[in-house]
Structure 1
């Protein structure tokens, strides 16, 4: 056999071995593992982006109706879910959305009693909802109405970042009310406010549970939780009695006559503050 023939024979043998290796069970298994790993990674990446609910349609913003509602060019009125407005929300909303093409996402597109469709609003192809943008600028407050844990956490994180940086409304020293100053809270009657303080006692009276922040139960600030709301806290693994002597942040609408009250209807209205977590700005 000549040198050329020997070289050709070796190459042919190598090609046969490579072909055998490519079709061997071990190689196929490794290839399948690689494909599955790639698909799982892509799936995880997609799921890692919060608030990506089912699309509820698209449209162009024709008008800013109020601080939390816009009208699309097809006539639909959209209420931005997940936030409560501040004094600067409407102006910020106008800057962000006027004349823009948007995508709507949510879990339920049933109009409310005012005919508004609730949704998370995304500008163009963005994967960040406008609600998060407003919260990060300090131009809105989290309403706690989003039940999806990942999306709710993302909205809270946007608000927390604005709070730390004193953006927008958080630059105001009275942005967070002190639970030890009930008169300041009562001054916000009929408004959505954020209150921080320590729960001194948890008492039940009839169908209502009171989280008392003051020793004077009549005049001190309290968060009230009705019996029908208890299952939601139980599902979240929260025992109300365990909140005694805990520092919390409560958000909601202020009501009451002698002492200020916030009616807690959603678990997300109460945030447990860590021992080392700094409190917000106090008046």
Structure 2
């Protein structure tokens, strides 16, 4: 896994994965999925919607892929439990994935479940460009939650959210390590890492102690265990923002 902060360089190839079918988009279901004319439902891999459903996200997907011939790429074409095929999607005549185009417009967030190097690079750069230009969701001051504002983060429970702040302390309790962004452990925001996946973070140079007093950006689904929490399953959920 790669850390988003390590991505750089212009002109990175978009997601180069095995072809997994093709078809024509018949209808757009929401900001992250559509139905092909043959009835297959496709979910866009590698991205997440930001918070609650945005009408502009669905409109953007319709503008990019609606009624167009598309090719599907991925590691496999097995449908998920809802019958949807997760894939990176390319509209006919485009060298960039639909995901990249949505990110460029600020209508999606990069997910954390991507392993393929070119995908990580292309998607991360597209998101960063929109963020720097304050396009789409990035025009809103609440697009990135302040780790010190627990109430704002709690309002996003159940949603994929980006939170930014300084890690004030690192604490281990049983099999869980807490990256604490506040001094009240039961009320303030924290990111958690389980013991079983800790080796992956340490191998990537992201051992918890190395993050203490560092500004980082984390992304994931917000839950509540006293205070707001984001559980870190993958290295790609952490982005180191600068020095101490």
Q: Same fold (TM over 0.5)?
A: yes
Q: Is the 8 A contact 2:12 2:122 kept in 1?
A: no
1:271 is aligned to 239
Higher helix fraction (1 or 2): 1
**Are 1:211 and 2:179 counterparts?**
yes
1:67 alignment partner, one of 31, 37, 40: 31
2:189 alignment partner, one of 221, 226, 229: 221
Shift of 1:224: 0.8
Q: Is the 8 A contact 2:23 2:36 kept in 1?
A: yes
CA distance, structure 2, for counterparts of residue 257 and residue 237 of structure 1: 28
Q: Looking at CA atoms only, which structure, 1 or 2, has the larger radius of gyration? A: 1
1:248 is aligned to 216
1:168 alignment partner, one of 111, 131, 136: 136
1:55 is aligned to 19
Shift of 1:260: 0.6
| Secondary structure class of the residue paired with 1:122 | strand
Runs of 4+ in 1 over 2 A off after TM superposition: 234-238
1:153 is aligned to 121
CA distance, structure 2, for counterparts of residue 118 and residue 196 of structure 1: 29
TM-score normalised by the chain length of structure 2? 0.89
Question: Structure 1 pair 174/94, CA: closer, same or farther in 2 (3 Å)?
Answer: same
Structure having greater relative contact order (Cα 8 Å, sep ≥ 6)? 2
List gaps (5 residues or longer) in structure 2: 1-10
2:41 is aligned to 77
**Are 1:120 and 2:84 counterparts?**
no
Q: Spell out the pairing of 1:5-16 with structure 2 (5 A cutoff).
A: none
Higher strand fraction (1 or 2): 2
Question: Structure 1 pair 136/48, CA: closer, same or farther in 2 (3 Å)?
Answer: closer
TM-score normalised by the chain length of structure 1? 0.78
1:142 alignment partner, one of 87, 105, 110: 110
CA distance, structure 2, for counterparts of residue 48 and residue 222 of structure 1: 33
